[in-house]
């Protein structure tokens, strides 16, 4: 069942974070739906309510153009039929103004992200306000971004010296003037597999200061992959060449959620699971050339990874509570 992002945020706020996972292809989509229902090996297993979670499925502009956005949308619609127990929202990740309008007009998306964070403050507000006005007419909510995360996203590379944390006073003014429904804040994370050197972590003092000014307002953490050593080691043991790296401490997700971080974006970790599984398959079965040979373990590995991630986010086991809370509310589709 597709619901609005706002419905998920209202239920989760302050208690746990909703995982927002990127998809690019069929195996990722199936692994994601299975994982969020606590079933790893097959679509036909019964859902495990102790592990089942509400989630956000998100599509970047790169994903929309990789094959054709219509394939992704059709896979999501089909997944809704194959996994009728699932409760989720559909979100555009890092949209331009044009991509946002395309998604708003399609009538399929629950929410869009307008990312004008590379513009100056007033221009970011002006662009976000235009998207908000158009989205709200259709009951779609809007995520915006203030502050600059380091790392690589879409076609933009932000060096560490240009990355800057979100200023709490500016965040308040930005939200009031733009009318955005949630805000991606820069609180020490960056996109991609190479986030932290040494023991850096989230800037909890900054999250606290932002929440103090904007209580009950949902914030979004981008660049939230934990880049598990286990998966990087597996990639390297199967012929990869990734330098040692570290991501967000998984133990930090819940404390951040209690401070209003309600959506946690994870893409890189799924890519690592994909890369390790496919490399291992090619290494271990060099004579095999069936796309299903790596695809099958990947779907299971990814589903198990999602189960683990949701446990760390606190969303694992919450699906039935969400279903109860939604009773009597209008849903998106």
Binding site for ligand G3H (CB under 6 A): 22, 60, 62-63, 93-94, 153-154, 191, 267
Among 267, 272, 278, 316, binds ligand 13P (CB under 6 A): 267
- Given the complex with ligand 13P, which of 96 and 293 has the nearer CB atom? 96
Among 30, 31, 75, 93, binds ligand 13P (CB under 6 A): 93
Site for ligand 13P in 272-331 (CB under 6 A): none
247: left (phi over 0), alpha (psi -120 to 50) or beta: beta
Phi and psi at residue 111, in whole multiples of 5°?
Answer: -160, 160
- Kindly state whether residue 145 participates in binding ligand 13P, applying the rule CB under 6 A: no
Annotated catalytic residue, options 48, 93, 122, 288: 93
Among 266, 306, 307, 319, binds ligand 13P (CB under 6 A): 266
**Do 175 and 166 contact (CB within 8 A), yes or no?**
no
Give the separation between CA 165 and CA 103, rounded to whole angstroms: 29
- Given the complex with ligand G3H, which of 120 and 155 has the nearer CB atom? 155
The verdict on whether 93 is a catalytic residue reads yes
**Do 1 and 86 contact (CB within 8 A), yes or no?**
yes
Phi and psi at residue 308, in whole multiples of 5°?
Answer: -65, -45
The helix/strand/coil state of 150 is strand
Can you count the helices (H) and strands (E) in the chain?
13, 10
Output the residue with the shortest Cβ distance to Zn ion: 222
Give the one entry of ligand 13P, Zn ion, ligand G3H, none that residue 266 binds, where binding means its C-beta sits below a cut-off of 5 to 8 angstroms depending on kind. ligand 13P
Phi and psi at residue 311, in whole multiples of 5°?
Answer: -60, -45
Q: Which residues bind ligand 13P (CB under 6 A)?
A: 22, 93-94, 191-192, 222-225, 265-268
Q: Which residues are annotated as catalytic? A: 93
């Amino acid at each position: 069942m597709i619901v609005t992002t706002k419905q998920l945020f209202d239920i989760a706020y302050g208690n746990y974070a909703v995982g927002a996972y990127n998809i690019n292809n069929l195996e990722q989509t199936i692994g994601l739906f299975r994982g969020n229902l606590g079933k790893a090996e097959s679509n036909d297993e019964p859902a495990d309510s102790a592990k089942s979670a509400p989630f956000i499925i998100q599509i970047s502009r790169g994903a929309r153009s990789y094959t054709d956005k219509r394939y992704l949308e059709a896979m999501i619609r089909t997944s809704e039929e194959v996994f009728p127990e699932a409760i989720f929202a559909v979100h555009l990740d890092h949209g331009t103004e044009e991509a946002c309008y395309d998604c708003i007009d399609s009538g399929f998306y629950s929410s869009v992200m307008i990312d004008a964070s590379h513009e100056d403050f007033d221009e970011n507000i002006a662009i976000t306000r235009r998207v908000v006005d158009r989205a709200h007419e259709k009951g779609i909510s809007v995520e915006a971004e203030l502050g600059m995360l380091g790392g690589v996203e879409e076609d933009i590379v932000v060096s560490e010296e240009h990355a800057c944390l979100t200023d709490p006073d500016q965040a308040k003014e930005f939200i009031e003037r733009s009318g955005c429904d949630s805000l991606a804040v820069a609180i020490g994370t960056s996109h991609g597999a190479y986030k932290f050197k040494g023991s850096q972590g989230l800037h909890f003092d900054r999250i606290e200061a932002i929440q103090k000014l904007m209580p009950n307002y949902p914030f979004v953490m981008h660049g939230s992959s934990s880049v598990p050593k286990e998966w990087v080691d597996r990639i390297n043991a199967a012929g990869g060449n990734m330098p040692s790296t570290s991501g967000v401490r998984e133990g930090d997700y819940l404390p951040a959620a209690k401070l209003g971080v309600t959506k946690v974006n994870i893409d890189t970790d799924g890519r690592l699971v994909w890369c390790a599984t496919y490399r291992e398959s090619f290494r271990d079965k060099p004579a095999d050339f069936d796309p299903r040979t790596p695809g099958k373990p990947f779907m299971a590995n990814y589903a198990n990874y999602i189960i683990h991630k949701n446990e760390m986010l606190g969303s694992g086991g919450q699906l039935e509570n969400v279903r109860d809370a939604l009773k009597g509310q209008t849903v998106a589709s």
